[in-house]
Amino acid sequence: MPNADEPVPVRIPITGELDLHTFDPRDLGVLLPEWLAACHDHGIREVRIIHGKGTGTLRATVQAFLRRDPRVRSFRTGDEFSGSWGATIVTLRP
């Protein structure tokens, strides 16, 4: 039986889209690599990360992570149909 004080893990459906509005930015260091690995394992090669427009800090954090992740082939800011500068479109390596 789980301890009542321990947080319960939340399952995220693997759809190729991750909306970061519902997550604490401190969790990105664990969340992003695990989510990208799950997308890769499910054969999803293009994903969209929604970070919002705001001040740009979260976008910069996400994109700095993407630059270092070996699964990432490329990434770009969204266009007018995919969230503009409030989203990052990522292409993963096969």
Domain boundaries, the chain: 21-92
- Rounded to two decimals, the pTM is 0.84
Partners of 75 in the β-ladder: 90
pLDDT at 25: 87
Residue range 54-94, pLDDT digits in tens: 888 999 999 999 999 999 999 999 999 888 999 999 999 99
What residues contact 65, with CB distance under 8 A and at least 6 apart?
28, 29, 32, 33
CATH placement of domain 21-92: 3.30.1370.110
B/e letters for 8-27, b = 16+ CB within 10 Å, e = fewer, are eeeeeeeebebebeeeeeee
Amino acid at site 65: F
